[in-house]
Amino acid sequence: MIKQPGIHLTIANTIIDLVQGDIKEHLPLARIPLRGDILGLGTTTSIDNGELMFVYDESDAETDIFKCHANTGGIHKVCPGDGSDHFPYVCFSSDATDMGYSIDLLSLNSKSDWRLADWVAAAIDSLDKPADLYGVRAKCQWDDLVITVASKLCLNQGSRNTNSGPTAGLGSSIYDSLQHYLLSDKPSTETEAGIQYLGDALDWDCCGFFDTQPEKGRVTVAQAGANLHIHGVSVDHRYGGHLHHEHSCTRVLRVDELVIYPIETINQLGSDLAITDLDFDAGTLHFRVSNCGAMDVSDIGIDVVPDNRYSERQYLRLPWLAAGESENFTVVLSLASGVHQVLVAVDPSGDIIEPEEDRKNNQIFLDCVVD
């Protein structure tokens, strides 16, 4: 087998970030290059919840992103400006065209009870290209397939749980609260309660990732053995969603095609808010809030506190600030004659996900003298 170069993966937030709730960082569709074969998956906003599927169209050598609707299991192509083109969690590769390993399926010596994760794990074991993370594309026929749609993972989660470790909120039943759908030849009387029958669309195109270190929660749920996270669409483009490949009602009939893409580098995007250009003149405070990070941010709080007197605190709210942009503010302060110290802090409650070292520029003190 001829070795192929690896793929570069970009991750905007992580699965752990998503399930802990209150995602206020977003990556717009326009920031994702879709020319070529782009591997990826993700979730849309809490306002318009649903799974994202990356589908490669060989006819025009471009990847389309489809969104699955939580209430129907149906899909539509995501387009700029359609209301669902900002993503709180998404990961995507560089162009992987002709850079994957097409697996000789007969050489894997598959067993009749294999699940899709078994096929992928065996395919990876057959390669001589080690990696921490692998992209996966597969064409599968299913006897029965359960899919889920993220209708609750990032909707009304309440405040982020920042004090319970890196896997806070990750229980063994993480998918139990989501909407479940069944694809099968006919509805089954044995189907578990809460699973809605969709139809007999059993031929699927799938795209996802296999993480050898799932505990990191980068592209899979941070649980032991949860290596494979994969989304898909039926080839007739009627349905799509998260493939619940480990569900007891899911049974793969056969894998028709399997391509594995070793990931060479991983770039994790983040936020970095900053207060700059702080000045006080003639009773008016001037300052600028800048988004120095790589993610758009929403619903940002700003505190202005004179002389550590929070009873005189002024609180501002910034609805949206795109990556690389800034917003100027002026605040009138009635300060008595003398020396004062004014604190200006953006995101004082820590709602925006930033590395701790990047939070140092979130606040600034200004010493000023009023005559």
Q: For residue range 212-265, list pLDDT tens digits in order.
A: 999 999 999 888 899 999 999 999 999 999 999 999 999 999 999 999 999 999
Distance between CA atoms of residues 274 and 287, nearest Å: 10
Based on the number of CB atoms within 10 Å of its own CB, is 303 exposed (0-12), middle (13-18) or buried (19 or more)? middle
Mean pLDDT of 132-145: 97
Query: Where are the domains positioned within the chain?
Result: 7-269, 273-370
Mean pLDDT of 141-167: 65
Predicted local confidence at residue 174, as pLDDT? 63
Whether residue 309 is predicted with pLDDT greater than 80 in this model: the reply is yes
Q: Is residue 112 a contact partner of residue 106, using CB atoms and an 8 Å limit?
A: no
Cα-Cα-Cα-Cα dihedral sign, residues 17, 19, 25, 30: positive
Q: For residue range 48-82, list pLDDT tens digits in order.
A: 678 999 999 999 999 999 999 888 899 999 988 88
Domain boundaries 273-370, corresponding CATH code: 2.60.40.10
HSE of 346 in the Cβ direction (CA atoms, 13 Å)? 33
Higher pLDDT, 46 or 137: 137
Q: How many residues does the chain have?
A: 371
- Across the chain, mean pLDDT equals 89
Domain boundaries 7-269, corresponding CATH code: 3.30.1330.80
Q: Which of 57, 143, 121 is nearest to 260 (CA)?
A: 121
pTM, entire model = 0.89
Predicted local confidence at residue 355, as pLDDT? 85
